[in-house]
């Protein structure tokens, strides 16, 4: 996705691209809920992550070192949800974002968590986006 064109005086325009890696609907089972009763059993949630990073070198070299290892991302998220419990999926989303920022290189990350807890709804979701500090 072309984000902008940078023009320096006397230089050719430089195109700046944002590339996005998407991991959609990672299934996790975790303890989350406002009440103790709700947190007593693991619940299925779906986690979608979008990580923005320049992937032009990965496209040229076909080397994982120039990208983000999707399997490691999924493993880190699954490890986190096994180790903790939360009252709110907002807090869970924030912790996932913090873990991703600590373990992977990208400029921006968005995380959406879907929870299937309310009757008469398909799901409730929280979507957060954060840029690297």
Taken in order of first residue, the domains within the chain and their CATH numbers are: 21-131 (3.30.1130.10)
Is this prediction's pTM over 0.75? Answer: yes
CB contact set of 81 (below 8 Å; sequence gap of 6+): 28, 29, 30, 45, 92
pLDDT (0 to 100) of residue 18: 82
- 25-28's contacts with Cβ under 8 Å and 24+ in sequence apart are 25/114, 26/74, 26/77, 26/78, 28/77, 28/78, 28/81
**What is the chain's alpha carbon radius of gyration, rounded to the nearest angstrom?**
18
pLDDT of residue 61: 96
Residue 47 to residue 107: CA distance in whole angstroms: 19
pLDDT along the chain (133 residues), means of 10: 56 73 98 94 97 94 95 98 96 98 94 95 97 82
pLDDT, position 60: 96
């Amino acid at each position: 996705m072309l984000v902008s064109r940078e023009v320096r005086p006397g230089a050719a325009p430089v195109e700046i691209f944002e590339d996005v890696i998407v991991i959609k609907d990672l299934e996790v089972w975790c303890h989350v809920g406002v009440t103790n009763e709700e947190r007593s059993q693991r619940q299925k949630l779906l986690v979608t992550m979008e990580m923005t990073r320049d992937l032009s070198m990965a496209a040229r070299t076909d080397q994982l070192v120039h990208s983000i290892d999707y399997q490691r991302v999924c493993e880190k998220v699954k490890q986190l949800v096994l180790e903790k419990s939360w009252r709110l999926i907002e807090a869970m989303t924030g912790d996932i974002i913090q873990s991703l920022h600590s373990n992977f290189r990208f400029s921006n990350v968005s995380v959406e968590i879907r929870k299937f807890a309310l009757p008469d709804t398909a799901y409730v979701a929280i979507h957060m986006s954060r840029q690297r500090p």
